C-alpha cells in the first residue's frame, strides 16, 4: 500500500486554496485523501484542523479575489465590543462590491455592497473592512445600545503605556462621514441614532450602558473620565461624574476584584471623598437589573446635593442683606 505524502507544514495547520496547494508542488489527486476536507469552491482544510476564525477568514479572503471580510467576522477580528451572543461567533461574512456577482459559498454569509475608497484595507494577509466601515455594517445587526458601545470603543482615547498606540481607532467626525457616504445602506438610520449618543471617554461597554441608562432615566449627562486634579497626570479620575455636584460614579468590573486593583480603587475613592465628593460604586451585579438600583442611588445623591445647596443658600442669605 502506497503511503500518502504528508502535507507541507503551511498547509497542514490551516485552511488553504487550490492555488497554494498547487504552488506546493502537490498532485491534484492528493486532495482526495481522507486527511483533507473540501470546504467550498477552491478551498480546503486539513481534516484534523481546529477551527480558528483568523485562519479561516484569511483563507476565504485569498480564495475570493475582489471580496473582503466584513460584518461580524471583521468585528471579531478587530476585537470590537460585541454583545455576548456574538462575542464567540464563528460566522464568516464575506462582502463583494455590487459590480461583482454575490459570494455564494457553503456556510458563508455573502453581501453585495457599495464600497468607497479607503473603506477596505489589507491586514495580516486578508482584505478586511476598516473599523469605521465595520461599525456601519453592524448597524443592521446590533441593538442601539450595543452599536453605541462599539462606537464608544472606536473613539476612546487609548492609554499608550498599556495599549501601544496613541491615536483613537476613529473619530466621531470619521463615523459621521462614513454615514454620509452611504445614506441608503440598511441600518443607516440606527447608525445616525447611535452616533448622536456616542461620547469620548467610555472605557468599557458597561460604562456606556450605565451612561445610556442614566440618560433614559432623565438624569443630566455626566462628564466622562473626569480628573480630580485637572492637569495632573497622576490624578485619580471618575468614570462618570457631575462636577458641580461633586458626585463621582465608578464602574468597577471583574478585574477590580484583584487585590492590587482593589487597593488602587480604595486610594482613588479616598482621594475624591477627602476632596468633598460623594463616590458611588456600580458593579457587574447592577447591570442585571438594567442599573435600576444604581440609578436610584445616583438620583438620591443628586437630590441631596440640591437640598444641601438650598439650605446653604438659605443660611447665607441674611448675611448678604
Give percent of the chain above pLDDT 90.
Answer: 67
Alpha helices by DSSP H, listed for the chain, are 9-12, 18-23, 53-63, 71-77, 84-87, 131-137, 144-155, 160-163, 172-181, 188-197, 205-216, 259-274, 284-287, 292-320
pLDDT score for 257: 57
Greater confidence (42 vs 136) lies with 136
**Polymer length of the chain:** 321
Instruction: Give whole-number Cα distances, 13 to 22, 56, 59, 89, 121, in Å.
Output: 17, 11, 12, 21, 25
Which of the four pLDDT bands, split at 50, 70 and 90, describes residue 306?
low
Q: Between 259 and 81, name the one with better pLDDT.
A: 81
- What would the mean pLDDT of 237-244 be, rounded to a whole number? 96
* Per-residue pLDDT reduced to its tens digit, 103-117: 777 788 999 999 999
* Residue 185, number of CB atoms within 10 A of its CB: 17
Which grid coordinates are listed for 229? Answer: 486634579
Query: Is residue 4 very low, low, confident or very high in pLDDT (cuts 50, 70, 90)?
Result: low
Query: Which CATH architecture best describes the domain 205-320?
Result: 3-Layer(aba) Sandwich (3.40)
Of 57-71, 259-273, 297-311, give the lowest mean pLDDT range. 297-311
Q: What is the pLDDT of residues 124-177, one digit of tens each?
A: 999 999 999 999 999 999 999 999 999 999 999 998 888 889 999 999 999 999
Of 24-28, 128-132, 288-292, which gets the smallest average pLDDT?
24-28
The torsion angle over the Cα atoms of residues 49, 126, 141 and 208, rounded to 10 degrees, is: 100
Domains of the chain by residue range: 9-46, 66-101+116-197, 205-320
Per-residue pLDDT tens digits for 171-207: 999 999 999 999 999 999 999 999 999 999 999 999 9
- Quote the pLDDT of residue 181: 97
Residue 276 scores a pLDDT above 90: yes
Q: How far is CA 90 from the centre of its chain?
A: 17
pTM of the model as a whole: 0.86
Amino acid at each position: 500500500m502506497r503511503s500518502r505524502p504528508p502535507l507541507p507544514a503551511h498547509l497542514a495547520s490551516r485552511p488553504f486554496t487550490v492555488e497554494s496547494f498547487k504552488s506546493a508542488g502537490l498532485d491534484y489527486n492528493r486532495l482526495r485523501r481522507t486527511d483533507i476536507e473540501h470546504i467550498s469552491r477552491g478551498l480546503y482544510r486539513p481534516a484534523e484542523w481546529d477551527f480558528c476564525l483568523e485562519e479561516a477568514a484569511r483563507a476565504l479572503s485569498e480564495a475570493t479575489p475582489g471580496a473582503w471580510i466584513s460584518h461580524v467576522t471583521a468585528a471579531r477580528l478587530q476585537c470590537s465590543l460585541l454583545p455576548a451572543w456574538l462575542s464567540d461567533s464563528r460566522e464568516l461574512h464575506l462582502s463583494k462590491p455590487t459590480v461583482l456577482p454575490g459570494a455564494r459559498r457553503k456556510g458563508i454569509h455573502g453581501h453585495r455592497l457599495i464600497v468607497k475608497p479607503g473603506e477596505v484595507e489589507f491586514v495580516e494577509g486578508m482584505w478586511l473592512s476598516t473599523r469605521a466601515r465595520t461599525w456601519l455594517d453592524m448597524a443592521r445587526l446590533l441593538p442601539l445600545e450595543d452599536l453605541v458601545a462599539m462606537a464608544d470603543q472606536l473613539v476612546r482615547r487609548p492609554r499608550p503605556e498599556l495599549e501601544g498606540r496613541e491615536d483613537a481607532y476613529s473619530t466621531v467626525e470619521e463615523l459621521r462621514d462614513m454615514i454620509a457616504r452611504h445614506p441608503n445602506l440598511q441600518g443607516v438610520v440606527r447608525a445616525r441614532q447611535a452616533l448622536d449618543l456616542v461620547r469620548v471617554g467610555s472605557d468599557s461597554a458597561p460604562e456606556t450602558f450605565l451612561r445610556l441608562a442614566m440618560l433614559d432615566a432623565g438624569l443630566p449627562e455626566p462628564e466622562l473620565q473626569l480628573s480630580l486634579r485637572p492637569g495632573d497626570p497622576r490624578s485619580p479620575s471618575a468614570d462618570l461624574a457631575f462636577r458641580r455636584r461633586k458626585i463621582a460614579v465608578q464602574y468597577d468590573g471583574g478585574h477590580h476584584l484583584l487585590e492590587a486593583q482593589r487597593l488602587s480603587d480604595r486610594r482613588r475613592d479616598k482621594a475624591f471623598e477627602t476632596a468633598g465628593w460623594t463616590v458611588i460604586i456600580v458593579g457587574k451585579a447592577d447591570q442585571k437589573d438594567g442599573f435600576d438600583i444604581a440609578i436610584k442611588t445616583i438620583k438620591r445623591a443628586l437630590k441631596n446635593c440640591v437640598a444641601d445647596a438650598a439650605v446653604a443658600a438659605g443660611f447665607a442669605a441674611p448675611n448678604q442683606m
